[in-house]
Structure 1
Amino acid sequence: MRYYKVAIKGRFVDELIYESKEKIEILSEVLLDLQNKKDLKAIVLEECEKPEFKTKAIKAKTGAKLSKTQFELASFISYYYNCKLSFILGSFECLEDYTCKKILIEKQMPILNEKQKEALEFIKQQKTSLLFADTGSGKTEIYISLLKEYIENGEQVLLLMPEISLSPQMQKRLEVYFEDKFFIWHSKISKKKKQENLEKLKNSEVMLVAGARSALFLPFTKLGLIIVDEEHDNSYKANNIPKFNARDLAVFLGQKENIKILLGSATPSLTSFYKQKSFRIKGSFFKSEKEFIYDESELSLSSTVLREIRTSLRNKKQVIVFLPTRANFRQILCKSCGNTIKCPFCSIALSMHKKKNALKCHYCGFTKEIDKLCPNCADSMLEARKMGTAELCEMLEKELKDFNAKIVKFDSDEISSFSKLNSVLRDFNKNDIDILVGTSMLAKGHDYHDVDLSVILGLDEYLFRPDYKALEESLALAMQVAGRAGRKGKARVLLQSKNKVFFQRYINDYDAFLKDELEARKELYPPFTRLLRILIEDKDEKNGFILCEKLAKEYKKIQDIEIIGYGACAIAMLNANFRFYILLKSNSHTKLIKAAKYALNFNNVSIDMDPVDFS
């Protein structure tokens, strides 16, 4: 009898020991039972000595394996993000052994201009690099040229995107050049479709995969190139445990497995700009002129905003309007007692959805009818504050009724499926829609053909969040939205903000911002240090507070770790749990990993290495 240490895929358990009469190759996928659960998939990690306790038998081999590259990646995630290997392996797909074959791409590749050719040559000479190229400057054409070279050389390639379900544009572009020789991979694809795609990968029918974070976990055997498009986007950071960053994992894989890594963005993250060699492309591929108009009003549909929108409509042009908040209003305020109507399970104001006659929590999903009286003082002096996309659409329809303009909302309330997204974008590009009103979805790499005005509202609140990346992310978002207008020809960008000086200084000069921000962050924040956020969530507020104080006291004793802050979270209650945090800083990732391990010995604690969310 032989004995094997195994990791049960997707289970939050330690490695277990099972027996088998036959020899099983390491990293093979097998089937086994655990308690009353039958035919669970597991990965064989190593052969070991017979244990003192009685063992169960491995039932069968599936014939599939985990590749060494996959195991290397899963082990790193387990170590760095402090999560059980078994649980992590639940995200990894396995395949039988296979070999890659060269695929000939028959379609003519895009013709590059001199600057694009220089960029391509620069990228080829670097193991890992950053393509820092303005919106509309032709990053995709460079990607496609590079992808073709690797595919025709018999190497697999991966194109990562922050939110694949929001990027139909890239799919269409890839189809032009690679026809059916690639597939799209993300969490919303059906099991059947995923299986079909894996067969294509195994049979070398496909050497190119375009996907979201989970595409990193596919069973590649000869991965030569990973391109991370819009590398600055926070969507690369997972919200659930383990809270990994797919961009950072791509860079890790590049270093460990000798894979070429290309990061691309018009507004690169400060960390990538600081750490990677970069090639800069300024200006757009097509001639484009932008005029920036500043409106220093409070958040509103001001006369300046209306004037500019009317000008575009008279000229038979289209408009996009960005607002960071969805629904009608983000809070209902009682003018008598000053309280907002909050979610009973979260310390968050409920958002008003007029069409549904409902107040809804955008965090836990709690919904109730709109109050007629204040729940706190029973007064009827209720006022809606902080408008959202739905309210803005209603206001625009009222103000622009003379134009008979077609106005469509473009946020996660409205765009609930991939087909709905495609439908709205198709109608917009056919000029069946005049004004698109939306949240940050507007900036997600979409091409709008006939837009000559981008209106940016509500960024001031975003700008002053208690977050060291607030300036970087606000400016990047403004530039990404601005970049959607005037892909060809003249365009206007209207920015409503009380912080005109900041935006005027940097919106046309992201290079200067990066330089100034690097100076401001020296010795304080990433990329010069690393952060760890420890989160305590407890039904009992007192218990949560006591544990937070206890951990903070312990961390104060540790050398080379600094506590930036601790206490109640900005969102103090979520899903009926009271929330407390400790934010640690260190130059040593090993020190932070040890600190995280210690915290995870306690109940109701989770950790976030390299956090991007501080709420």
Structure 2
Amino acid sequence: MKYYEIAIIGFYLENLVFHSVLELSPLTQVIVDLKGKKNLKAIIIQECKKPEFQTQEIKEILPYSLSPFQFELANFISYYYATKLSFVLGFFECSKKYENNSIEILNKPCLNDKQESALNFIKNHQSSLLFADTGSGKTEIYISLIKEYLEKGKQVLLLMPEISLTPQMQKRLEKYFKDYFFLWHSKISKKKKQEYLFALEEGKKLLVAGARSALFLPFRNLGLIIVDEEHDNSYKASNKPYINARDLALFIGAKQNIKVVLGSATPSLVSFYKQKSFRLKGTFFESKKHFIFDESELNITPTLLNELEKTLNHQKQAIVFLPTRANFRQIVCRNCGNTIKCPFCSIPMSLHKNKNLLKCHYCNFSKPVDQTCPSCNALMLEAKKMGTAELCELLLGYFPNANIKRFDSDEVSTLKKLNTILKEFNERKIDILVGTSMLAKGHDYHSVDLSVILGLDEYLYRPNYKATEETLSLAMQVAGRAGRKGEARVLLQTKNRDFFEKYIQDYDAFLKDELCFRKDLYPPFKRLLRIIIEDKDLLSASKLCENLALKIKKISQIELIGYGACGIEMINSKYRFYILLRSDSYKSLIAIQNYMLDFKNISSDIDPIDFS
């Protein structure tokens, strides 16, 4: 009889011991029964000694296994993000053992001298940052590099923010790699996923272009990982385990000698500081931008209307960015000053006029629009902080003959709708596209001569050490959608003209100045850990937060930055409190994370990006 340590896939459990008469290889997938739960999938971790307690027999051996690549990645996630290995394995796809064949790619991009220099730089570094202006042709550099790896029979992973998995990228990859790649993201069906996994096993597909989850696929001969738009926050998971796909790519690249390329026009300060980088300036097509500053509060101003009218008169297109969806972000009582809040979350509810509803964008609770103030019963209710739906309505009033469409998560709820709107816009059937940050996510808009950026001022003053970095990056990404070919204007409505005027055309200068600001305080010079306590009882959550903070304060290698009620104090009927820690040593923070595992109502996020 042989005994094996196994991990039950997807369950938040310690590893268990089962037995079998067969000799089984580590990483093999098996079937077991456990306490009334039957036919559970599990992974053989290693053979072990006979335990003192009675064990159950492994029920079935499957022809699938984890790849060494996957197991090393899963182990690191379990360690660094303080999560049970069995739970982490629930994110991974198993496969049969397979080998790849090399393929010949006939088509290849024609690179200019700058792009060739960038390509050679990347080839000479195990990991690097391609700091490339919008429109400078970094995709062609990616494709040239991918071609070389596929022709060696190596697998390639191209990671992109979810919304960037657009028809345009698919068309570019199809042009060069035809049937040798597939797209992997949350919106593809289960049946399609099985087809793609089978194609990967058969060696028919060597290139995977996908969102964060593509990192968990059963690669067995991965040679190259490209993280496009590496600055994008969607690489960071918003629930347990709070992984960052960019960071995981760098880890696994270093461990398994896989080349990693990070790419962005507005790279994160951490990547800029830590990675050797190649600066690719200029645009592939000649383009010039003229910046117009409208020093106003968020509003439809004469300056904005004048610039939109110019664009329409010249039969060009405009994109208008606004960070808020719906009609208005909140309803305010003019009598008592209170907002109408969600009963389950401590945030104002947003107004959706087309459905006559107030909706919470955190827990999705909705209700009919109040006619009187819930606090004082006054009738004087006023909508505040305009959203994309309201902006579209107002612009249609000014330009009734224009075709104006929304581009936000309310309107673009499926991949089909995304494809349709982008197709119509590039076919110039839409004159003005109004949207949220989805507008900035790497789409090519061929006839846009005006980018409008509204409502960004409040982003600059969020309680987040990355507030200026993220705000400037977003503004530059939106601005970069205009003038892909030819001249263009960028209208920025802001009361912070000095900041934007100084940096919006010089991200290099911003990065250097920001490094000085963060020295000895924040990443990339320090490590952060954010602990969140959630409880339906306000007093219990508050006391636990204070007690833990006072204990942690005594630890020499840990600095307590602050603690107390979260910015959003309640979500889904649970009160939320935070503890924010700083250290030079990630090991000290991981030790704190492991200690917090004993508390059911506590979650910990190492390297946090959300501080709400």
Distance 1:167 1:547 in 2: 46
User: What residue is the counterpart of 2:393 in the other structure?
Assistant: 394
SS of equivalent to 2:576: strand
Which residue pairs with 2:483 in the alignment? 486
Instruction: Give the partner amino acid of 1:69.
Output: F
User: Deviation above 6 Å: which 4+ runs of structure 1?
Assistant: none
Which residue type is aligned with residue 563 of structure 1? Answer: L
**1:274 pairs with 2:273:** yes
> Are the aligned partners of 2:4 and 2:46 in contact in 1 as well (CA < 8 Å)?
yes
* More deviation, 478-487/94-103: 94-103
Deviation at 1:164, TM superposition (A): 5.1
User: In the alignment, does 2:531 pair up with 1:534?
Assistant: yes
Alpha carbons 1:166, 1:441 under 8 Å: kept: no
Equivalent residue in structure 2 for 1:415, among 409, 412, 418: 412
The superposition leaves residues 256-282 of structure 1 with CA deviations (integer Å, 9 ceiling, x where unpaired) of 000000000000000000000000011
Identical amino acids, percent of aligned pairs: 66
Q: Following TM superposition, by how much is the alpha carbon of 1:54 offset from its aligned partner in structure 2, in angstroms?
A: 2.0
Aligned to 2:384: 385
Q: Distance in 2 between matches of 1:36 and 1:308?
A: 67
Amino acid at match of 2:365: F
Report the secondary structure of 1:180's partner residue.
helix
Match of 1:139, as an amino acid? K
Structure 1 residue 146: Cα displacement = 0.1
The farther-off stretch of 591-600 and 247-256 is 591-600
TM-score scaled by length of structure 2: 0.99
**2:13 counterpart residue number:** 13
Q: What does residue 473 of structure 1 align with?
A: 470
Equivalent position SS for 1:58? coil
Deviation at 1:200, TM superposition (A): 1.0
Q: Aligned to 1:148, what secondary structure does the other structure show?
A: helix
Whole-Å separation in 2 of the counterparts to 1:600 and 1:50: 28
User: What is the alpha-carbon distance in structure 2 between the residues aligned to residue 272 and residue 489 of structure 1?
Assistant: 31
Q: Counterpart in 2 of 1:136?
A: 135
Aligned position for 1:584: 581
Structure 2 Cα separation of the partners of residues 166 and 411 of structure 1: 15
Please show how residues 449-464 of structure 1 align to structure 2 within 5 Å: 449-464=446-461
Give the partner amino acid of 1:117: E
Preserved contact between residue 164 and residue 441 of structure 2 (Cα < 8 Å): no
- Are residue 301 (structure 1) and residue 300 (structure 2) matched? yes
1:566 aligns with 2:593: no
C-alpha contact (below 8 Å) 2:165/2:210 kept by paired residues:
no
Aligned partners of 1:394 and 1:129: how far apart in 2?
45
1:68-108 deviations in whole A, cap 9, x for unaligned? 111110000000000000000011111111111101112x2
Q: Secondary structure at the match of 1:466?
A: coil
C-alpha offsets along residues 388-445 of structure 1, whole Å, 9 cap, x if unaligned?
A: 00000000001112xx000000000000000000000000001110000000000011
CA distance in 2, matches of 1:552, 1:141: 50
CA contact (8 A) 2:166 2:419 kept: no
Deviation, structure 1 residue 597: 1.3
Does the alignment pair 1:85 with 2:79? no
Give the counterpart letter for 1:120 in structure 2.
L
Aligned residues: 612
Matched, 1:313 2:302: no
Query: Does the alignment pair 1:260 with 2:255?
Result: no
Quick check: 2:344–2:571 contact (8 Å CA) kept in 1? Answer: yes
Given that 1:318 and 1:435 are in contact with CA atoms closer than 8 Å, whether structure 2 keeps it comes out as: yes
Whether the aligned pair in 2 keeps the contact of 1:164 and 1:186 (CA below 8 Å) is no
Whether the 8 Å contact between 1:551 and 1:599 is mirrored in structure 2 is no
Alpha-carbon distance between aligned partners in 2 of 1:514 and 1:271, rounded to the nearest angstrom: 10
Report the Cα offset of residue 599 of structure 1.
Answer: 2.0
Query: Following the alignment from structure 2 to structure 1, what is the Cα–Cα distance between the partners of residues 533 and 204?
Result: 48
Distance in 1 (alpha carbons) for counterparts of 2:23 and 2:29: 13
1:448 and 1:175, CA in 2 relative to 1: closer, same or farther beyond 3 A?
A: same
Secondary structure at 2:91 match in 1: coil
Question: Mind listing any 5+ residue stretches in structure 1 that lack a counterpart?
Answer: none
For residues 345 and 317 of structure 2, the distance between their equivalents in structure 1, rounded to whole angstroms, comes to: 39
Q: Is the 8 A contact 2:163 2:441 kept in 1?
A: no
What secondary structure sits across from 1:179 in the alignment?
helix
Preserved CA contact (<8 Å) 2:163 2:438: no
Quote the residue 2:158 is aligned against.
Answer: 159
Pair 1:111-2:110 in alignment: yes
Task: Name 2:601's counterpart in structure 1.
Answer: 604
AA at the equivalent of 1:186: H
Partner SS state of residue 355, structure 1: helix
The answer on whether the counterparts of 2:231 and 2:268 sit within 8 Å (CA) in structure 1 is yes
| CA RMSD, 1 decimal | 0.8
Report the 3-state secondary structure (helix = DSSP H, G, I; strand = E; otherwise coil) of the residue aligned with 1:479. helix
CA distance in 1, matches of 2:167, 2:590: 38
How far is the alpha carbon of 1:35 from its aligned partner? 2.0
Q: Which amino acid is the alignment partner of residue 299 of structure 2?
A: S
1:165 is displaced (CA, Å) by: 6.1
Q: Alpha-carbon deviation of 1:216?
A: 0.8
Alpha-carbon distance, 1:168 to partner: 2.8
- Does structure 2 conserve the Cα–Cα contact (< 8 Å) formed by 1:28 and 1:64? yes
Residue in 2 aligned with 1:437?
434
Aligned to 2:239: 240
Q: Is the 8 A contact 1:164 1:211 kept in 2?
A: no
After superposition, the Cα gap between the structure-2 partners of 1:165 and 1:481, relative to the gap in structure 1 and judged at 3 Å, is: closer
TM-superposition CA deviations, 1:179-209 (whole Å, max 9, x none):
1110111122222111111111111111111
1:218 deviates by 1.0
- 206-215 or 180-189, which deviates more: 180-189
Amino acid at match of 2:171: K
Alpha-carbon contact 1:82-1:596 (below 8 Å) kept? yes
Distance 1:166 1:203, change over 3 A: closer
Corresponding residue SS for 1:321: strand
SS at match of 1:563: strand
Contact persistence 1:321–1:437 (CA under 8 A): yes
Give the CA deviation at 1:166: 4.6
Question: C-alpha offsets along residues 124-177 of structure 1, whole Å, 9 cap, x if unaligned?
Answer: 000000000000000000000000000001111110001156533211110111
More displaced 10-residue stretch of structure 1: 160-169 or 312-321? 160-169
Contact 1:331 1:352 in 2 (8 A): yes
SS in 2 for 1:13: coil
In structure 1, C-alpha distance between the alignment counterparts of 2:600 and 2:187, rounded to whole Å:
32
Q: 1:231 to 1:450 in 2, by over 3 A?
A: same
Q: 1:166 to 1:329 in 2, by over 3 A?
A: farther
What amino acid is aligned across from residue 269 of structure 1 in structure 2?
S
Q: TM-score, normalised by structure 1?
A: 0.99
